[in-house]
Structure 1
């Protein structure tokens, strides 16, 4: 099987692919700027969101999920543990492992960040015409399909 990045892009799609990539990148950057805590990094927020959405993980599981090394994830978790956004608990079945879990303060921070991002995006979308909103809704469905592979 050929990986998607190895498939040559027909010339007639290159411009669309570039425009879509750049628009997605800009929108993502703008959404990330809406945070519940300005000093939190994107990597730290991603860990909190993972823990909120998927439950407790070991350090290794978090590192694998976020595609980083265990030492890098350990630094990220340390930064989240100090202000009380996560806890570490020894694994009852294997004392060599530590379970990382989100605290109520961490959950509140994730909820607030998502709320801010949704509010910003809803306000921007509200200024669009009904036809533009329909186009965005259709594009969102298509982008989800493309992302699913």
Structure 2
């Protein structure tokens, strides 16, 4: 997780939203690989380490985005972002617990994570499109002033 956080912070400086979308796509692939690796001890351990690194790599661009978008109150926004991370952790654990209680196996948990990650990917793509739309509107406004 530490390696993923470090790499995520370093690589997301390049293009944060592109990196975030790429990290989510990589996370989807790692969850699928984890599903297939789960019956085998060594591959499962390796995939859990890879999954943890990828999962935490996505945190840095999210934190950076929150601070950038909330320039008027970055500290407040940062605390709300951390609260959202904690809420996500609790919700994921609850979802996993409900699945196990309902009779699903541990092997099936990555499949539920794939669904949650797909929803997150869709939201990230929509956010990137909104960013582009607002940037284009600002450029058009600046050109009209000239």
TM over 0.5: no
Higher strand share: 1
Name which one, 1 or 2, has greater alpha-carbon Rg: 1
TM-score with structure 2 length normalisation?
A: 0.30
Indicate the structure whose relative CO is greater, using CA pairs within 8 Å and at least 6 residues apart.
Answer: 2
Higher helix share: 2
TM-score with structure 1 length normalisation?
A: 0.30
